[in-house]
Structure 1
Amino acid sequence: MKIIVTGAAGFIGSHLCERLLAEEQHQVIGIDGFINPLLKSIKQRNLTALLQHPRFTFVNENLLTIDWKKILINVDVIYHLAAMPGVRSSWGKDFDPYVSNNISVTQRLLESCRNVQIKKLIYISTSSIYGEVHGKVTEDRKPSPLSPYGVTKLTGEYLCKVYQKTDNIPVTILRYFTVYGPRQRGDMAFHRFILHKLQNKPIPIYGSGKQTRDFTYVSDCVEATAQVLHANNVIGETINIGGKERASILDIISILEDILGETVEVEFKEKPRGEPMHTWADVTKAEKLLHYKPKISLEIGLQHELEDLKRLYQGGG
Structure 2
Amino acid sequence: MRIIVTGAAGFIGSHLCERLLKEKENVVIGIDGFIDPALKPIKQRNLGNLLNHPRFQFLNKNLLELDWSKVLAKDDVIFHLAAVPGVRSSWGNNFRLYVENNILVTQRLLEACKTIPIKKLIYASTSSVYGEKIGRVSEDSVPFPLSPYGVTKLTGEYLCKVYSENDGIPITMLRYFTVYGPRQRSDMAFHKFIACIIKKKPIPIYGDGKQTRDFTYIGDCVEGTVSVLHADHVIGETINIGGKERKSILEVVEILEEITGQKTSLDFIGKPRGEPRHTWADITKAEKLLHYSPTVSLKEGLQYELKDLLDLYKEV
Aligned counterpart, 1:147: 147
* Amino acid of the structure 2 residue aligned with 1:49: N
1:125 deviates by: 0.1
1:262 deviates by: 2.4
SS at match of 1:51: coil
* Amino acid of the structure 2 residue aligned with 1:157: E
- Are the aligned partners of 2:215 and 2:242 in contact in 1 as well (CA < 8 Å)? yes
* Amino acid of the structure 2 residue aligned with 1:198: I
C-alpha separation in 2, matches of 1:173 and 1:73: 21
Consecutive unaligned residues in structure 2, runs of 5 or more: none
* Amino acid of the structure 2 residue aligned with 1:16: L
Greater than 4 Å deviation, 4+ residue runs: none
Residues paired across the two proteins, number? 316
C-alpha separation in 2, matches of 1:224 and 1:113: 24
Aligned counterpart, 1:271: 271
Aligned counterpart, 1:96: 96
Q: Does 1:221 align with 2:221?
A: yes
Q: Deviations over 1:91-144 (max 9, x none)?
A: 011100000000000000000000001110000000000000010000000000
- Are the aligned partners of 2:73 and 2:118 in contact in 1 as well (CA < 8 Å)? no
1:207 deviates by: 0.6
- Are the aligned partners of 1:98 and 1:149 in contact in 2 as well (CA < 8 Å)? yes
1:74 deviates by: 3.8
SS at match of 1:125: strand
Q: Deviations over 1:171-192 (max 9, x none)?
A: 0000000000000000000000
- Are the aligned partners of 2:125 and 2:157 in contact in 1 as well (CA < 8 Å)? yes
Aligned-pair Cα RMSD in Å? 0.8
C-alpha separation in 2, matches of 1:75 and 1:266: 51
- Are the aligned partners of 1:133 and 1:279 in contact in 2 as well (CA < 8 Å)? yes
- Are the aligned partners of 1:2 and 1:74 in contact in 2 as well (CA < 8 Å)? no
1:290 deviates by: 0.4
* Amino acid of the structure 2 residue aligned with 1:140: D
C-alpha separation in 2, matches of 1:36 and 1:214: 28
- Are the aligned partners of 2:228 and 2:290 in contact in 1 as well (CA < 8 Å)? yes
Aligned counterpart, 1:206: 206
C-alpha separation in 2, matches of 1:205 and 1:130: 23
Aligned counterpart, 1:84: 84
1:263 deviates by: 1.1
1:260 deviates by: 1.1
Q: Deviations over 1:230-253 (max 9, x none)?
A: 000000000000000000000000
1:75 deviates by: 4.9
Aligned counterpart, 1:295: 295
1:261 deviates by: 1.6
Aligned counterpart, 2:166: 166
- Are the aligned partners of 1:3 and 1:75 in contact in 2 as well (CA < 8 Å)? no
- Are the aligned partners of 1:6 and 1:31 in contact in 2 as well (CA < 8 Å)? yes
Answer with 72-81 or 248-257: which moved more: 72-81
Q: Deviations over 1:158-215 (max 9, x none)?
A: 0000000000000000000000000000000000000011111000001100000000
Q: Percentage identity across aligned positions?
A: 70
Aligned counterpart, 2:243: 243
SS at match of 1:63: coil
C-alpha separation in 1, matches of 2:138 and 2:161: 18
- Are the aligned partners of 2:179 and 2:218 in contact in 1 as well (CA < 8 Å)? yes
- Are the aligned partners of 2:181 and 2:301 in contact in 1 as well (CA < 8 Å)? yes
C-alpha separation in 2, matches of 1:163 and 1:260: 49
Q: Deviations over 1:213-234 (max 9, x none)?
A: 0000000000000000000000
Q: Does 1:35 align with 2:35?
A: yes
Q: Deviations over 1:15-46 (max 9, x none)?
A: 00000000000000000000111110000000
Aligned counterpart, 2:121: 121
1:264 deviates by: 1.3
C-alpha separation in 1, matches of 2:15 and 2:173: 19
- Are the aligned partners of 1:202 and 1:266 in contact in 2 as well (CA < 8 Å)? yes
- Are the aligned partners of 1:64 and 1:101 in contact in 2 as well (CA < 8 Å)? yes
Aligned counterpart, 1:284: 284
TM-score (norm: length of structure 1)? 0.99
TM-score (norm: length of structure 2)? 0.99
C-alpha separation in 2, matches of 1:106 and 1:304: 32
- Are the aligned partners of 1:208 and 1:268 in contact in 2 as well (CA < 8 Å)? yes
Aligned counterpart, 1:130: 130
1:271 deviates by: 1.1
SS at match of 1:52: coil
SS at match of 2:229: coil
* Amino acid of the structure 2 residue aligned with 1:246: R
Consecutive unaligned residues in structure 1, runs of 5 or more: none
Aligned counterpart, 2:12: 12
